[in-house]
Amino acid sequence: MDALTLSASADAYRPMSDPDEAVACATEAARILSLLGQETRFLALYHLAIHDELTVNEMADAVKISQSALSHHLSKLRRDRLVTFRRDAQHLYYRIADPRVARLIRIFRQPPSTALSSVPAS
């Protein structure tokens, strides 16, 4: 079995025969991982993954930074379509917009010994 081929699950890996598809995939992965690579943004997304939806104030308390600093990070995450929000009266409620981000957060929440247990060794 090819090291990139797994079972037919929804998250199955498959070899990429199209070089353009591989480049597009690498570009998108680098974009998302770059955004997750900043600790404050990761923490904001982490708390959104746990709570589904939070206000800016709730997130600022959880991440332990000022509301204005968090708003800067949320603006970037909105621009890059990783989060979205809804307005309810005076409050903005944020949630993760990209399901791939929620999956990545779930992987990082698992102990390292179990995070990749479903991926066979090559």
3-state secondary structure of 8: coil
Describe the strand order of the beta sheet including 83-88 as a list of residue ranges.
Answer: 54-55, 91-96, 83-88
Residue 118 located in a structural domain: no
Tokens of 9: 């699950």
3-state secondary structure of 87: strand
Strands 54-55 and 83-88: unpaired
Point out the least confidently predicted range of 2-16, 25-39, 63-77, 95-109: 2-16
* Total tally of structural domains belonging to the chain: 1
- pLDDT digit string, tens, across residues 9-55: 555 666 657 878 889 999 999 999 999 999 999 999 999 999 999 99
Q: Tell me which residue range forms the domain holding 102.
A: 40-109
- pLDDT digit string, tens, across residues 112-121: 776 556 554 4
Report yes or no: 62 and 43 within 8 Å, Cβ to Cβ.
Answer: yes
Q: How many whole angstroms separate alpha carbon 72 and alpha carbon 19?
A: 36
Residue 77 located in a structural domain: yes
Residue 53 located in a structural domain: yes
pTM of the predicted model, to two decimals? 0.74
